[in-house]
Amino acid sequence: MFLTPPLLLEDMKRFRLFYIVALLCVCVCAYAQKSKPLTERDWARFGRYEKQNAELLTSGVRPDAIFMGNSITRGWEKIHPDFFKNNNFVGRGISGQTTSHMLVRFRRDVLDLNPRAVVIMAGVNDIARNNGIISLENIFGNIVSMCELAKLHKIKVVLCSVMPVAEFRWRKELSPADDIIRLNAMIKEYADKNHFTYVDYHSALVDERKGMNRKYHEDEVHPNSLCYAEVLEPMVLKAINKTLKTKHSYTTPIPQN
C-alpha cells in the first residue's frame, strides 16, 4: 500500500488551499475591476508589485533573475518561496494575465529592477481567451517584444515553453493542446535563432492526451508542489546557470517515498 509522506501531504494541502484562495482572489478582483468605470481600472495591475518594487530598488540588490508570468509563476513563489529567496530570484507573476498585460507592465516589473536575466513563461491565458480572442502570431509578437526590450536593456533572456493543457475548466469549449504546441514551436525557433536559452517544460510534462501528466496537477493547468520541485525548478535552474554562468543549486527538497 502506498503511503504519501507527511511533508508531501502538507504541500498538497497548501497547494489546494492556495488554488482555492487564488480562484477566489481572481473572481473578487475581476468583479471589483469590472464594477469600476473603465477609466478607473488598473488594467495591467501596475499596482500589484508597486510596493515590492520600491523596496527592492531601495535595498540595492540586483536580482539574478526575475520570473515574468501568470498564476503559474505566482503560485510557484507562493508555495516554494525559498527557491526564489535562496537563489536571488524574484517572482512577478499575476493570476489570469495574458502576454498583453505582461508586455504593458514589463518596464515596471522587469526593466526598472535591472535583473541580470528575465525568465518569461507566458501565453496560456491568451489561448484561454482571458482577454478576448488573439491570434498565435500576436501572442508570439508580445513575447518577442518583451525579449527585445530585455535585450535592449542588456538583460539576458530565458524563454520557457507553455506547459501542456488538455482542457481549461473555465473554457471547456476550447481545445488548447494543438495551439500550445504550435505556439511553443514558434517560441523555440525564435529562441534558437536569437541564442536565448529555451526551457522545454512541455516535453517534460506532456502525456498521451497532449495534456499535463496527471501526477503533476490537480486542475489541468496549474502545477502542484511536486511538479515545481521535481520538474520546473531543476530545469529552469540549469537554464539560468547556463545563461548567467552562475552556480545556483537550491531546489525545493522532494520528500522521499
pLDDT in tens, 177-227: 999 999 999 999 999 999 999 999 999 999 999 999 999 998 999 999 999
Q: CA-to-CA distance for 233 and 252, rounded, in angstroms?
A: 8
Q: Could you tell me where the DSSP H helices lie in the chain?
A: 6-35, 50-59, 71-79, 81-87, 99-109, 124-127, 136-152, 177-194, 201-205, 225-227, 233-244
10-residue averages of pLDDT along the chain (257 residues)? 47 55 49 58 93 98 98 97 98 98 98 98 97 97 98 98 95 95 98 98 97 94 96 98 97 83
What are the phi and psi torsion angles at 201 (to 5°)?
Answer: -60, -35
> Half-sphere exposure of 28 toward its Cβ, with a 13 Å CA cutoff?
6
Helices 6-35 and 71-79, packing angle to 10 deg = 140
159 within 8 A of 199, measured Cβ to Cβ: yes
pLDDT value at residue 256: 72
At the top level of CATH, which class does the domain 12-244 belong to?
alpha beta
Residues in the chain: 257
Q: Provide the pLDDT for residue 15.
A: 53
Query: For the chain, how long is the longest CA-to-CA vector?
Result: 58
Domain extent listing, the chain: 12-244
| Reported pTM | 0.85
Amino acid identity, residue 46?
Answer: F
